[in-house]
Structure 1
């Protein structure tokens, strides 16, 4: 079985190199008619408002289809076709993460990342290849046709349009932050506290090898590395303490008074602190960049980024 899989991997690598002109334009509908109204775009992605919500379109490599002829063994096909699917899905969701943060930044809106509706178009295998900007223009027209057009909306100038959400640490931190806001709005303060601390825990795993100090050692070391105020470091350590004492483990003392430790003021300050840390870390990421968000060649990108990407997208034994 290992021999077959090894041969399959060789075929997979050869095949994606041949597919540089293949792509898929994926579009999802975020929110509903009350979703924030803005436009934004970057290399390989675009968001436009529609009557039913925000339409987010991304152009990803054509790795999610067309593997039957290249991978004939059923086991090999099952493993490697899923690998292609998850790799291209990661690219799509990395772009979506930018839009989610812009929506929070603008309107304090937490939008579900998977969307309520979707459409897509594949290029290269049957339909002739097109440039990404053409695929995005077609997707926007299709979205307006499906979900209704609206009057011109302001264009976002948020830094999130340029931040590298391809880095798994930044990407993961975004989702922890927004999950924390969702839990907090539903009244789950302890669970929200865990998510807020997970923002910092995720950001500690950025490749901080070239910085002074050791951001991986503690939350306060991370904040010091980012040049933030000592008050933020103290608050971060307090949040970490509360997570360990009351949320991640059964509280060993005065558990009935937990509510006194996670009142509204603390949660607001903790959320603000986590957002500042996320913004600072995302802005510092280019100095320690380990994954390219705008590659010229996607097959080379997959090979160069494979160890980091594989740990983010593949199943792990429980």
Structure 2
């Protein structure tokens, strides 16, 4: 093992043990967990041929009618909804024979589950944005139904294209087929939703639209502002000012208009005065500030910033959306991923 890989493994292990030390875990289990992490890292390296094809059915009141696909995912309409299938690493099963200790098994099997779940949701996030962009439909990534197929452990390994085709057939059998759908050419098919900042910004934008449709204007205002706040965690090259601290500096760095900066700062002001904190003045009259016209403008700005950030992401890429080796990808990106997938104590 080369020194770079050893350092990456040690860094991942130290982050897990740091979580252990800072949370209310049984002290006597530290040594067993440390040994378990070593086995976890060794095991995922052995699972290069293991994968899982996960499919969720999206849509309730409205069913988007489009087809979209990328490396490791595809979306196809069925009678009951939009079937989204993703290829994820085989980390969500088969841990009982690796870890005999119940505590170690509980922690590290969940780690494998959450990591492969993140890959799935990152792909689904693309489809959610395509649905909004195309039909102004807010879909929930969990879906109402689903199915899956595992490869490599018992069933022979399968190429992603083969596994996805098999998943489409299963979806038609489960939920019914429909006539051929137009293929989406959205930029979201290629944008990197594996970056936690982009991924989280998608979540906040869609949550804001859902809140707004239910009449929760103040809560939606906070969520729209959180789109920008999430994107500020990226260290942007050739930054104008300090985009990690200032909404207007982030917008200027992404090359958007000054009017967008002024509105973003106004939203941040309203968030702090009325929504995120208890304000000291005219709380009954927030409707005079947070009206339908303003909220649509805020939504447009948040979406433009999100789109621009997603298009600019390759200039500051922190995580690969199409890795050749998933175990290397997990260990190399572990500091970024661990904070995104693991619950804090």
TM-score normalised per structure 1:
0.98
| Structure 1 partner of 2:9 | none
| Structure 2 partner of 1:134 | 162
Structure 1, gaps ≥5 residues long: none
- Range with bigger deviation, 199-208 or 60-69: 199-208
Structure 2, gaps ≥5 residues long: 1-28
Whole-angstrom CA distance in 2 between matches of 1:257 and 1:72: 60
Question: Any idea what SS the aligned residue of 1:66 has?
Answer: coil
| Structure 1 partner of 2:91 | 63
1:200, 1:277 within 8 Å by CA — same for their partners in 2? yes
RMSD: 0.9
| Structure 1 partner of 2:318 | 290
Question: Any idea what SS the aligned residue of 1:122 has?
Answer: strand
- 1:269 has 2:283 as partner: no
Question: Any idea what SS the aligned residue of 1:34 has?
Answer: coil
Question: Any idea what SS the aligned residue of 1:88 has?
Answer: helix
State which of 10, 26, 31 in structure 2 corresponds to 1:3.
31
Aligned residue pairs total 317
Whole-angstrom CA distance in 2 between matches of 1:33 and 1:147: 16
| Structure 1 partner of 2:48 | 20
Whole-angstrom CA distance in 2 between matches of 1:219 and 1:175: 19
**Change in 2 beyond 3 A, CA 1:52/1:273:** same
TM-score normalised per structure 2:
0.91
Whole-angstrom CA distance in 2 between matches of 1:5 and 1:210: 42
| Structure 2 partner of 1:149 | 177
Query: What is the CA-CA distance between 1:217 and the residue it aligns to?
Result: 1.5
Whole-angstrom CA distance in 2 between matches of 1:13 and 1:81: 12
- 1:309 has 2:340 as partner: no
Query: What is the CA-CA distance between 1:73 and the residue it aligns to?
Result: 1.0
Query: What is the CA-CA distance between 1:32 and the residue it aligns to?
Result: 3.4
Query: What is the CA-CA distance between 1:209 and the residue it aligns to?
Result: 5.0
2:60, 2:81 within 8 Å by CA — same for their partners in 1? yes
| Structure 1 partner of 2:201 | 173
Whole-angstrom CA distance in 2 between matches of 1:169 and 1:203: 5
1:50, 1:143 within 8 Å by CA — same for their partners in 2? yes
| Structure 2 partner of 1:117 | 145
